[in-house]
Structure 1
Amino acid sequence: MLNKKIFILLPDGVGLRNFAFSNFFKFGLQQNFDIRYWNNTPFDLTTLGFDEVKIRNAKANLLTDSYKNARKHIELNLNIQIEKDPVYDTYRFPFSYKKLKPAVKNLISQFLIATHSSDKGLKKIREKIKKLEKSGNYYAHCLETLKIEKPDFVFCTNQRPVLAIAPLLAAQELKIPTATFIFSWDNLPKATMVVETDFYFVWSEHMKRELLHYYPYIKENQIFVTGTPQFESHFDANNAVSKSAFFEKYQLDLNKKYVCYSGDDFTTCPDDPQYLSDVADAVRELNNQGNSIGIIFRRCPVDFSKRYDLVLEKNKDIITPIAPLWEKVGEDWNTILPTKGDLELQINTIKHTEMVLNLGSSMVFDYVAHQKPCAFINYDVPDKVDKDWSVSKIYQYVHFRSMPNKNAVLWLNSPQDIKEKIRLGLEQSTETIENAQKWFEIISGHSPESVSEKIWKAIEKIVH
């Protein structure tokens, strides 16, 4: 019997880490699949030994962005109506009218939101998006590619990009089964679904319930619970390097214990430099009391700003910045691509630090995969960069309601709190780790070390 040909659609770079730099490809080969990456990223996957089909000149219809944004806002409006919960308003980005093109797009979106904020209206918007995307050259090129390549299945690595719509519609036109992977743990309450496929791959039973709740047109038999490859590499011993090699490479002090400060992007945390400064002050106090602690600062991969420079210079005896190994190939955040080297860097940063401190990041799960604790920042600074921003907004988000109890992390409720919480993280973290592990299982399911295998078994079930 001929091997089934599987197209792995990469509409943008965010799927690279999960589906190109993990063991996903290797497990697929072991199952005797013929794998092609349908690649819309600038990254050359042939350098990793993969077969790829490049997508050239991908371009959405001029109106699709307006309809996509309208769809998001209408879904949020309907969620507020149904649940009587204003949290969904916090997922909106303000409309911009500073430049002509975005202003026109946003005016169209606002008109559509005003006239289509109902179940019936939402359905019309969804159908119009499909009609728009089927009308362009991009869709025609996708059809042509699929007719030549004749894949048995198209698997999309991310449900959010507009440029994923046309390839999936083309596959459905040719009766090729399609699926999408839900990219992140917070995506579904935020109304980020752009594509519609025959099947959906989710992280956990928790995410499955969310998918059914937010998208009632999706039926239970369309959903596969597989986990996410995002954490799988933590369980692969081949990615680890020795402490001495890691410390030597990054000029770290073998006599120190290191904690990691994991940065956020500006929108998520405009006051991040001040929080890093507060952590450095706490570590300095601990060291003055006879401890020997350092900080590894891992900035957000899409933050190339200089906003941390003063804090890093002031605390260069304590903070060692280790920049993520991402490559910038354009101006937009989604053209900053991860590399395989960064996956290994992140894993070894975790392996050789004692704990992580950040603002509500999923790094809590990366660290608990190594049985290490996380501390969440939970206070506002006095001189805020953005007066309308508050840490309280972050922890109101729906995805934090999945936390089994508040003891899954250490809470940094003030600058004065940091010193004691770091001490707890270093010396008495067992309870925190046990609760974080329960949260990890809720979010990512069981057996995070064998996710790629589970995804391929689900694909096999679909195509055979």
Structure 2
Amino acid sequence: MLQYSTFLERLKEEAEVEIWAKSFISNPEDWRIEDIQVKAFPKVNPLPHWTSYIRRVNEYAWMNRLDAKSIKINIKYKVKKTLLIKFLLLLGYLFSLLRCHKLLEKLVFKLVLMNNRNKGINQDLKHSLPDYLLVFNPFWVEEPIVALEAKKNNIPIISIIPSWDNVTTKSRMVYKSNYYGLWSSVRINELFTYYPYTKKAKTFVFGTPQYDIFSNAHFLQKKEVFLDKYHLNDSLPILLYTLGSPLFITTEIDVCLQFCKLALQEGILEKYQILIRPHPIKDFSEYIPKFKHIDTRIKIQSDVQTSKTEKNRFMNKAMLENWVSTFYYSDIVIATSSTTLLDASMFNKPHINITENLTEDKQYDDFLKDVSYKFIHLKNLNDQKLLNNITNWEMFFNQLHQYINDKNSIQNKSKEVVIALAEQKNEGKYGAFFANQLIKIVKNNA
């Protein structure tokens, strides 16, 4: 998405840019960028498997030392407690108890840096001779491997924390950077808390460049084209129901199905056009017949999903246009504590956020409450009362019925949400702002 923001246009004015992209092989046409060389991401050999055990122990040690609630919730509900996991959790607890977590992390850094499985990447870096390495996801698999090889070549590293929840929910980073870029000052404070050594590095706020296109008219489809594509009723307000990953909140699709059934009973289908947006990288095909069986007026954006045949996740220009147009033409957005709350806020759309278990299966009650109110990145928004949370079906449908007669009946703090998460309002210049931050780094070290 960055190639369609103002980021690269500004950056290439001051620097020579080379990009290694995983999707270059499958989508070469989408990577034709003037004055920028784009290459396929090099083959990455993962770290030795045995290092995963000491990395897990390190994560569990820091989890206990920090009382990292988001990570604890993930482990409590989403990790199968095998004998091995229990043993690693115990070791982590002991390292934390003995206050040896910092020494343990130093050991992890040394062990992963000793990995010699990626000499090809090392040679690629020597051939490219970059003055800086910009890492867009330090929590993923491939990018940290490149960063480790860069450290062996004394190449300064700039690591970008790519989302609002990454610091407090993801596995610990396995290398140190010279610079860290984050969405906002709130995230910088979290970084300092979770990674104390980053206080010695330089940090900067870069906003959310992926949302530049929300202010770019070229990415907005004509309304009649968008409505015709999904056979939407132009006379009704669009109620956009967004779904997250079913691997995390496994009840989301069941709740959405139940909502559609109740919406039919409540007469909502006479008042709203319901449009369902599945998670773009999760297969939704098996559920489509279940929704169509309820009522054919319920529409599903089944085309937003990445093809199963594509090895690397990629959103081309057509998919981006669909993303922008969907949120622009929607009137209300429904989510379960997902990033689509920010998508909605970028267009000043009111939202309904489901924060508790709406199924009859009570085993999910505590999980949904813990995620909604104790995950650090969500707790920050809830503490500021920026989210329109609903906890039961009665609240849900009361809000929908009231909205038809009073468009101000649903709390809308979109502007505050944007500022809280991106630190500045969207004027289509997040990318240029990001580029300017990088240019400052280069010039200050020239």
Q: Under a length normalisation based on structure 1, what TM-score does the superposition of the two structures give?
A: 0.83
Q: Which amino acid aligns with 2:47?
A: A
Equivalent pair of 2:23/2:313 in contact (CA under 8 Å): no
Between the two proteins, what is the percent identity of the paired residues? Answer: 16
1:6 corresponds to which residue?
none
Asked whether the 8 Å contact 1:257–1:354 carries over to 2, the reply is: yes
- Whether the 8 Å CA contact 1:404–1:439 is kept in 2: the answer is no
Contact 1:328 1:336 in 2 (8 A): no
What code does the residue aligned with 1:26 have? E
Contact 2:271–2:404 under 8 Å retained in 1: no
Which amino acid is the alignment partner of residue 79 of structure 2?
Answer: P
**Matched-pair contact (CA < 8 Å) for 1:371–1:433:** no
The residue number in structure 2 matching 1:121 is 100
1:378 and 2:361 aligned: no
State the match for 2:345 in structure 1.
368
Q: Does residue 195 of structure 2 align to residue 215 of structure 1? A: yes
Q: Does the C-alpha gap of structure 1 residues 353 and 38 become closer, same or farther in structure 2, counting only changes over 3 Å?
A: same
Q: Is the aligned partner of 1:266 residue 2:253?
A: no
Residue in structure 2 matching 1:160, options 139, 148, 156: 139
Name the CA shift for 1:170/1:459 in 2 (closer, same or farther; >3 Å).
Answer: same
- Root-mean-square deviation (CA, aligned residues, Å) is 3.0
- Write the distance in 1 (CA, Å) between the matches of 2:210 and 2:56: 27
Check conservation: 2:132, 2:155, Cα contact below 8 A. Answer: yes
In 1, are the aligned partners of 2:161 and 2:182 still within 8 Å (CA)? yes
Q: How far off is 1:444 after superposition?
A: 1.1
**2:326 is matched with which residue?**
349
Shift of 1:461: 1.5
Worse-matched range after superposition: 31-40 or 448-457 = 31-40
Give the secondary structure class of the aligned counterpart of 1:356: strand
Q: Number of residue pairs matched?
A: 432
- Letter matched to residue 52 of structure 1: V
Pair 1:386–1:27, CA change in 2 (3 A) = farther
Partner residue, 1:10: none
Answer with 337-346 or 381-390: which moved more: 381-390
Cα pair distance change 1:240/1:330, threshold 3 Å = closer
3-state SS of 2:239 partner: strand
Deviation at 1:381, TM superposition (A): 3.2
Name the structure 2 match of 1:94. Answer: 79
Report if aligned partners of 2:11, 2:435 keep a CA contact under 8 Å in 1: yes
What's the counterpart of residue 5 of structure 1? none
SS in 1 for 2:159: strand
Would you say the 8 A contact 2:349–2:414 is kept in 1? no
1:184-222 Cα distance to aligned partner (Å, 9 max, x none):
211222253314211000111111111122222112761
Distance 1:200 1:389, change over 3 A: same
Question: What does residue 178 of structure 1 align with?
Answer: 157
Q: Judge conservation of contact 1:45–1:52 (CA < 8 Å) in 2.
A: no
Distance in 1 separating the partners of 2:316 and 2:62 = 34
**Secondary structure at the counterpart of residue 327 of structure 1:** coil
Q: Does the residue aligned with 1:170 lie in a helix, a strand or coil? A: helix
Mapped to 1, the partners of 2:324 and 2:314 lie a distance apart of 17
1:8 alignment counterpart? none
Contact 1:159–1:193 (Cα < 8 Å) also in 2: no
Residue 52 (1) aligns with residue 34 (2): no
Q: Does 1:132 align with 2:111?
A: yes
Residue 79 (1) aligns with residue 66 (2) = yes
Q: Which shifted more, 218-227 or 181-190?
A: 218-227
* Gap runs ≥5 in structure 1: 1-16, 98-102
What do the CA deviations read for 1:393-434 (whole angstroms, capped 9, x no partner)? 221211122226675333332222222212445554558565
TM-score normalised per structure 2:
0.86
Superposed displacement of residue 254, structure 1? 2.0
User: How far has the Cα of 1:258 moved from its partner?
Assistant: 1.4
Task: Evaluate the alpha carbon distance shift between residue 59 and residue 21 of structure 1 in structure 2; reply closer, same or farther with a 3 A threshold.
Answer: farther
Matched-pair contact (CA < 8 Å) for 1:297–1:320: yes
Evaluate the alpha carbon distance shift between residue 439 and residue 314 of structure 1 in structure 2; reply closer, same or farther with a 3 A threshold.
same
> Matched residues in 1 for 2:346 and 2:71: separation?
30
Amino acid at match of 2:393: P
Q: In the alignment, what sits opposite 1:398?
A: 376
| Alpha-carbon shift at residue 96 of structure 1 (Å) | 6.0
Alpha-carbon distance change, 425 to 342 in structure 1, aligned in 2, over 3 angstroms: farther
**Alignment check: 8 A CA contact 1:158 1:181 kept:** yes
Q: CA deviation at 1:142?
A: 2.4
Aligned CA distance change for structure 1 residues 462 and 44 (closer, same or farther; 3 Å): farther
Distance 2:53 2:3 in 1: 31
Q: Distance in 1 between matches of 2:48 and 2:97?
A: 24
1:106-137 Cα distance to aligned partner (Å, 9 max, x none): 58844752553368633343333333333334
1:179-258 pair list within 5 angstroms: 179-194=158-173, 195-219=175-199, 222-258=202-238
Structure 1 position 155, deviation (Å): 0.6
How many angstroms apart in 1 are the aligned matches of 2:220 and 2:87? 51
Q: Which structure has more RCO (C-alpha within 8 Å, separation ≥ 6)?
A: 2
> How far, CA to CA, are the matches of 1:87 and 1:133 in structure 2?
26
**Residue deviations 1:365-407, cap 9 Å, x none?**
1111111111011332343295576421221211122226675
**Aligned partners of 1:61 and 1:132 also within 8 Å:** no
2:48 corresponds to: 61
- Cα gap change, 1:134 to 1:87, in 2 (>3 Å): closer
